[in-house]
Amino acid sequence: SYLKRSGRRGAKTQEANGHKSAVPVANGNGKSNGLASHHENGNSSSNGYHGSMYRSLKDWHDQAMSLGDPRLDGWLLMDSPVPPALLSILYVVLVLAGMRWMKGRNPFDIRPLMVVYNLSMVVFSAWLVYEFCVSGWLTGYSLGCQPVDFSRSPKAIRMAKACWWFFFSKYIEMLDTFFFVLRGRFELVTFLHVFHHAVVPPSAWWGVKFVPGGFSTFATMLNSVVHVVMYLYYGLAAMGPSVQPYLWWKRYLTKFQMVQFVTIVIHGMQLYFIECDYPKAFANAIMTLACIFFVLFANFYIQAYLKRSGGRRSVQKKQSAHQTVLVANGHSNGRNGAAHNGHHEAAHGVSTRSQVSALGLRCQQRKQRRSPEAASRKRPAAAAASDAPDWQRSEWGANSGRFDATTACRRLPAPDTAKWILLALLLATLDLPSLW
């Protein structure tokens, strides 16, 4: 409403000045050229409106930045919210371009690089936890009301630096998505994944700029704890099938993340019941993001574990009943029994190299049916039998040689991936300034 009122006021002023200065000019027939004067006035009004709107937006920006923490002046990316938002937009654009570029190419084998990256993020996240603890949460901070220390004491500056490093780490974590794209794991580039990496950095900027410390750093410290465990899992998973038997706790990692969001909301709700010299707007923004991520992670947990396990149990029951009927009818002996046993093993995923090749051919045919005009650019079917490349090896079990056909066929990019990523791009440009 402020921008519109200012724009209308500027437009009326320009229009009034234009009417005063507009003098009819006689043409060759002795008639005044009032139409040309009217057009000139209209252009002046339009220019005045846009100029006033730009000035109003710039004034708001300058006034908001003047309220920021002066200790952070000159720090990287801390002078304006525009660069963080542009980096999030660039991230989404590069993800879309990378998926299109990788669509007709063989995935890269970057497993050693991923191991180094994930274990480095474990060390970095653990260091962040240590910094948050020694600069506040184990040296005097309270779980209740905790105002921000805006002094230039070494402890306060150390907390501000820890907040900045937490903010900057969110751009480093964008490498997760690019690794997925380079490995051809398009099914992992989900709405939840892109939304998280696109929205969190520009949203965290506001907290670092205005309240680098205090009450809300509880959420950043807890998130760093979760990332220690999360990147430890990713690092172990990147080491290959030999460590797969020790990664049974993946679903508990998702539960841990959801517990994190619930804890953040419970902690933030305190400000509605106690008097505290800490702006509620920032706590509201953090709780809003926590609620959004809780819903998204809960949906992922239901889809990935509850529904999948339920469907697996129903398939096993059907196969068990089918085998019982065949045995009762005497078809489990001789040639028929051998054929049945071979079919039963294949149904349970005990695949041979030829079955993997056939699976790759079926996935390839499904790709071509979905996009016939791009059939010439697709991965050749023979690649499915080329000594189990990375995009297939990741679905093999550690010891049994099992191969999940359903998961392998999900290597196809989902038709709605671009739509979800574009939606994340839109959300990334909002930055939660209205909540602030």
- Mean pLDDT, the chain cut into blocks of 10 residues (436 residues total): 53 52 45 46 60 83 90 94 94 95 93 96 98 96 95 96 97 96 93 93 95 96 97 94 90 94 96 93 94 93 81 59 46 41 39 43 53 45 37 36 41 49 54 45
Residue 217 contacts residue 201 (beta carbons within 8 Å)? no
CB neighbour class for 228 (10 Å; exposed up to 12, middle 13-18, buried from 19): middle
User: What is the pTM (predicted TM-score) of this model?
Assistant: 0.66
Following DSSP, what letter does each residue of 396-431 receive, concatenated?
Answer: B-SSS-BB-HHHHHTTSPPTTHHHHHHHHHHHHTT-
Name every residue whose Cβ is closer than 8 Å to that of residue 203 and which is 6 or more positions away in sequence: 285, 289, 431, 432
Q: State the CB neighbour count (10 A cutoff) for residue 328.
A: 9
Rounded Cα–Cα distance for residues 22 and 34 (Å): 8
How long a stretch of residues is the chain? 436
Amino acid 63: pLDDT:
87
Active-site choice (39, 50, 196, 331): 196
Amino acid 60: pLDDT:
86
Does 344 qualify as catalytic in the annotation?
no
Rounded Cα–Cα distance for residues 36 and 116 (Å): 70
Owner of token pair 């085998």:
323
For the chain, the structural domain boundaries read 2-18+34-66, 79-308+418-428, 334-413
Amino acid 199: pLDDT:
94
CB neighbour class for 307 (10 Å; exposed up to 12, middle 13-18, buried from 19): exposed
Q: What is the end-to-end Cα distance of the chain in Å, rounded?
A: 17
